[in-house]
């Protein structure tokens, strides 16, 4: 089970690939890098998907042997080619479609395909920029200074039976999730914590790990400079020594 690996004591690194923001050539390059650097997971998905997600995953799997998980922006982003799916419930918002509506639509297909499902509490945090997920979900992110609200939201998600939490700053966020929020959520919950958004430098990644993230997600930075994946993998490795 892929989910079991979320509980290991080592820090993990996930690469988020949005098919709309990568060409076939760049997907091939980053997949090869991910394999060579032993990147722990590849997440695939986006807010709007114009490209063919099945083809993207096929290219990734041609070069990368690790787990490929769907990171769906809506109920249409489901395919049998993936190894599993982060079944995202946007618990920081109040839009029923992103809390349960899309899940109802996609559940029969997911069950028929037999994907491993990882129920994930998705918590959007304001990191200084209006993001695609905020616009598409028609929800407001939790203000960066409202640590108590983020903690209570995370605790509620755990109590509802969600299996992991994902703190998200959004694609192209101006800053990383504040350390105070990561620490607060980590210390008040017992399930794996994924953190993404705004990670552009080695220091950003180190700060996220030191604050308590079990899995850090990088995406936009790699779209702009694929060589950063090497330095990010080095940071991960140093944290696991």
* pLDDT tens column, 65-110: 999 999 999 888 999 999 999 999 999 999 999 999 999 999 999 9
pLDDT at 87: 98
Q: Which distant-in-sequence residues (6+ apart) come within 8 Å of 203 by Cβ?
A: none
Cα–Cα distance measured from residue 235 to residue 137, given in angstroms and rounded to the nearest whole number? 33
Could you tell me which CATH class the domain 11-239 is placed in? alpha beta
Cα–Cα distance measured from residue 86 to residue 43, given in angstroms and rounded to the nearest whole number? 9
Burial group, residue 96, by CB count within 10 angstroms (0-12, 13-18, 19+): exposed
DSSP state of 51: S
Can you tell me whether residue 118 is helix, strand or coil? strand
pLDDT at 65: 98
pLDDT at 188: 98
pLDDT at 52: 86
* Model confidence at 50: pLDDT above 80: no
pTM above 0.85, yes or no: yes
pLDDT class of 132 with cuts at 50, 70, 90: confident
């Amino acid at each position: 089970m892929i989910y079991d690996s979320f509980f290991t004591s080592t820090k993990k690194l996930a690469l988020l690939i949005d098919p709309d923001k990568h060409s076939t050539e760049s997907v091939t390059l980053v997949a090869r890098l991910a394999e060579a650097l032993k990147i722990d997971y590849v997440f695939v998905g986006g807010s709007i998907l114009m490209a063919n997600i099945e083809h993207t995953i096929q290219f990734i799997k041609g070069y990368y042997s690790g787990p490929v998980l769907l990171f769906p922006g809506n109920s249409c982003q489901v395919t049998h080619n993936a190894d599993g799916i982060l079944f995202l419930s946007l618990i920081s918002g109040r839009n029923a479609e992103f809390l349960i509506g899309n899940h109802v639509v996609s559940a029969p297909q997911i069950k028929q395909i037999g994907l491993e499902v990882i129920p994930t509490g998705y918590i959007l945090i304001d990191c200084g920029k209006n993001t695609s997920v905020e616009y598409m979900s028609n929800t407001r992110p939790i203000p960066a200074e409202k640590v108590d609200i983020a903690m209570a939201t995370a605790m509620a998600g755990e109590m509802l039976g969600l299996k992991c939490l994902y703190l998200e700053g959004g694609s192209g966020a101006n800053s990383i999730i504040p350390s105070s929020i990561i620490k607060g959520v980590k210390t008040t919950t017992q399930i794996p914590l994924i953190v993404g958004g705004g990670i552009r430098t080695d220091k950003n990644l180190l700060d996220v790990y030191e604050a308590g993230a079990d899995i850090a997600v990088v995406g936009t930075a790699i779209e702009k400079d694929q060589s950063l994946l090497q330095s990010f993998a080095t940071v991960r490795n140093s944290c696991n020594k």
